[in-house]
Structure 1
Amino acid sequence: MELAPILHHWGYAAVFVIIFVESFGLPTPGQTVMVAAAVYASSGHLNVWLVGFLAFTAAVLGDNIGYWIGVRGGRRAVHRWGRYVFLTPDRFARIERFFARRGSHVVVVARFFDGLRQFNGVLAGVTAMPWRTFVLHNAVGAALWVGLWVPVAYFFGAQLVRSHAEWWLLGFGVVGALVTAGFYLRRERASKSRADEPVGV
């Protein structure tokens, strides 16, 4: 898919819609369009902050649509239509078993992997993950995904440093991603520590 004409004519709407529909299972190039939009922003055609905001919002909302699909009839839909997006019953069964074991961790990292990025919401719904748990970990994953790729694409897409603002933007994105990951890891460790504490008799 040639993205330059799409971004030129549709701009922010293309970023939002393509990432949104990818996030509940349609085979569209969500990550590619986000990176392309950030590169496009580096030449002044789009606002990189708005690109990041729309990418994050579309990812979270789309994944929640996927979660609803999973809850309401995802298993039936996957078995009926999955072959059209290369999700065979055997492949789905393997993903589902892995997802059931790892759950919230998978939701956080899912955005960085094709297949999981498109179906992590559906799988969360199918495997009956509590919605609040899904929303929290999904938002963390989307923040890390956007916080890494958008500033990196913006900076390296320009292929030169025009001002200190680019360094600041890159640093903000990387630090934001690290802080978010650190918060998540601390929360997970604290939860595990509480679970491992002996129960008083």
Structure 2
Amino acid sequence: MQGLELYLIDFIYHFRYVGLLILLTCGLIGVPVPDEFLMTFSGFQTSLGRMDFGKTLIVAALGSFLGMNLSYWIGRRLGIPFLHKVAPYLHLNEKKIAQAEQWFQCYGDRLIVIGYFFPGFRHFTAYFSGMSKLHYGRYSMLAGIGALLWSVTFISLGRVLGEHWQKITHILHNYLARSGVVLAILVFLVYLYSSKRGKTSRVN
């Protein structure tokens, strides 16, 4: 177990629900915090009777939801103009940004719930939802559903795994991280296909 993980575990061990709420909120904004690791540890604590399962689940879902909402509003405040400023460094032009914004408004909201389960990808969906000004009511509903499903999955996993929670969580995290990269590539390919198809239909 690494030093950061030990520190975070100690933080939750001492501050319990408040600690979990703070860390998950920060993690969903983009602070490099091992979110799944924290939730499975908290789930393990419920199996020992140190934390209540129901309260832990509510706090985890709330922290995740708050973090995703803050990310949305940061993205909305920064907006597409901020993306235009950094576009040259990302090899993007205005046309590509406009196409990406249009594509995300049409299809991107479908990724918000599933995006929770892939490290790094969930941050992309939150910030770009705000940047593309996806309707907040729809976004918050999907973010809430995703937060609840994500929290139930990993807290229950930690409770069921017991003393083996740490080993399994590391394996699962590595698998999900790789899957997140694959998912990001697939999303990009679908975006390219949609853009090309749109050009063809305009020509015809």
Give the percent of matched residue pairs that are identical in Structure 1 and Structure 2.
22
Please give the alpha-carbon distance, in whole angstroms, between the structure 2 residues aligned to 1:77 and 1:29: 28
Partner of residue 193, structure 1? none
Partner AA of 2:124 in structure 1: F
Verify: 1:18 aligned to 2:23, yes or no: yes
Contact 2:65 2:143 in 1 (8 A): yes
TM-score, structure 1 length as denominator? Answer: 0.65
**Equivalent residues of 1:79, 1:89 under 8 A apart:** no
Count of matched residue positions in the alignment of Structure 1 and Structure 2: 151
1:43 aligns with 2:44: no
C-alpha distance in 1 between matches for 2:76 and 2:9: 37
The residue that corresponds to 1:6 in the other structure is: 11
TM-score between the two structures when normalised by the length of structure 2: 0.64
Q: What pairs with 1:47-126 in structure 2 (closer than 5 Å)? A: 47-75=52-80, 89=90, 97=100, 100=104, 102-126=107-131
Counterpart of 1:33 in structure 2 is 38
Q: Which runs of 5+ in 1 are unaligned?
A: 82-87, 160-201
Q: Runs of 5+ in structure 2 lacking a partner?
A: 165-204
Shift in alpha-carbon separation, 1:9–1:137, aligned structure 2, 3 A? same
Cα RMSD (Å) = 2.8
Range that drifts further, 68-77 or 20-29: 68-77
Shift of 1:79: 8.1
Question: For 1:160-199, what per-residue CA distance to the aligned partner results, in whole angstroms no more than 9, with x for missing partners?
Answer: xxxxxxxxxxxxxxxxxxxxxxxxxxxxxxxxxxxxxxxx
Cα distance change on mapping 1:77 and 1:29 into 2, 3 Å: farther
Query: In the TM superposition, what is the alpha-carbon distance from 1:38 to its structure 2 partner?
Result: 0.8
Contact 2:113 2:142 in 1 (8 A): yes
